[in-house]
Amino acid sequence: MRVATWNVNGLRSRLDFVKIWLRERRPDLVALQELKLEDERFPHEELEAEGFVAAVYGQKAWNGVAVLAREEPEILQKGLPGHGELGSRLLTVRAGGLSFTSVYCPNGKSVGHEDFPRKLAWFESLADHLRATGTPARPAIVGGDFNICPEGTDSWNEAGKKDKIFHTDEERARFRALLDLGMVDLYRRLHPDRQAFSWWDYRAGAFHKNQGLRIDFLLATAGVGEASAVEIDREFRKKQEGLTPSDHAPVWADVSA
DNA sequence: ATGTCGGATCATATCCGA
């Protein structure tokens, strides 16, 4: 079974691009983030034509998460309890024999901004929620845009970004706490020394210069087992058939479940 | 280059967020 996560940066603008990727990579379970649309505007019919049934937790203009599955997913959770004011950022379903979560973690803007402590608190609540729902003890995958570089190698400019947003010890401690629940970053486990990024700023030719960050992850519990392949789909950060890509590349993994 | 995107709005230009 192929699972994936992708921050699409606006599903209405990205739909044709997403369809190209779905046809090329044939995933079975996809966590989408940054839909930027309300539930009633989700393109169910077009995605059903591609062979997917979607569960959606949308929001007007900002945020919004969804899961694409091969069979009707059962919704287990919409939203991180206690954090509704930060928008639609979490959706958990039962699909493909897994608990499967799509998360769009808060950006935080900058250290010192009022959003930064909110980001840290959001991560603490995410860990609490996963623990309280017994997620680590079950076959589960949490996929999404975490807006944190867990280690120096996950940044194109670790030295220059020291103590800057996405690179702080505070954020890294919150991310590590998720792993300490009993989850593993599937990409990093299979590629322990590889520097690869999943996001590049649209501005300043960042992609061309490979000035990126690895901030999109598939976190899996022990019940999922080892992935036979995990890739960051850099090809799909490039234009496809003249269509503009998201600023994030998809990340996919082949798991045995 | 504070350089590009997507989306919303007292819209046809400017803002916000990333």
If you average pLDDT over every residue of chain A, what do you get? 97
pLDDT tens string A208-253: 999 999 999 999 999 999 999 999 999 999 999 999 999 999 999 9
**In sequence order, what are the beta bridge partners of A139?**
none
Q: Encoding tokens for residue A116?
A: 């930064």
Residues 6+ apart with CB under 8 A from A116: A108, A109, A110, A165
pLDDT band at A171 (very low <50, low <70, confident <90, very high): very high
Strand B, nucleotides covered by protein (CB < 7 Å) = 1-8, 17-18
Task: Please give the average per-residue pLDDT across A134-140, as a whole number.
Answer: 98
pLDDT tens string A20-36: 999 999 999 999 999 99
The reply to whether the predicted model has a pTM over 0.95 is yes
- Phi first, then psi: what are they for A153, rounded to 5°? -65, -15
Active site residue A163: no
Residues 6+ apart with CB under 8 A from A180: none
Question: Which nucleotide comes closest to A205 if you measure CA to C1'?
Answer: B3
Question: Which nucleotide comes closest to A41 if you measure CA to C1'?
Answer: B7
Report percent pLDDT > 90 for chain A.
100
Provide the CA A252 to C1' B11 distance, Å, integer.
39
B7 closest protein residue (CA to C1'):
A61
**Maximum Cα interatomic distance, chain A, rounded to a whole number of Å:** 47
Determine what percent of chain A falls in helix, strand and coil, rounding each to the nearest 5. Answer: 30, 25, 45
pLDDT band at A173 (very low <50, low <70, confident <90, very high): very high
pLDDT for the residue numbered A227:
98
Distances (CA, A) of A233 to A21, A155, A164, A214: 10, 17, 26, 12
Question: Which nucleotide comes closest to A109 if you measure CA to C1'?
Answer: B18
Counted domains in chain A: 1
pLDDT tens string A87-110: 999 999 999 999 999 999 999 999
Task: Please give the average per-residue pLDDT across A184-209, as a whole number.
Answer: 98
Task: Please give the average per-residue pLDDT across A150-179, as a whole number.
Answer: 98
Active site residue A145: yes
pLDDT tens string A69-90: 999 999 999 999 999 999 999 9
Q: How many CB atoms lie within 10 A of CB A214?
A: 26
Q: Does the C-beta of A36 come within 7 A of strand B?
A: yes
pLDDT for the residue numbered A184:
98
User: Nearest CA to A5 among A100, A124, A94?
Assistant: A100
- The secondary structure of A72-110 as a DSSP string is -PEEEEES-TT-GGG-S-EEEEEETTEEEEEEE-----S
* Separation of alpha carbons A89 and A86, rounded Å: 8
Per annotation, catalytic residue among A57, A104, A185, A187: A104
Provide the CA A14 to C1' B6 distance, Å, integer.
10
pLDDT for the residue numbered A71:
98
Q: Does the C-beta of A244 come within 7 A of strand B?
A: yes
Q: Does the C-beta of A61 come within 7 A of strand B?
A: yes
DSSP A240: B
CATH number of the CATH domain containing A215:
3.60.10.10
Task: Please give the average per-residue pLDDT across A141-161, as a whole number.
Answer: 98
Q: Does residue A257 carry a pLDDT above 70?
A: no
Q: Encoding tokens for residue A143?
A: 């996929």
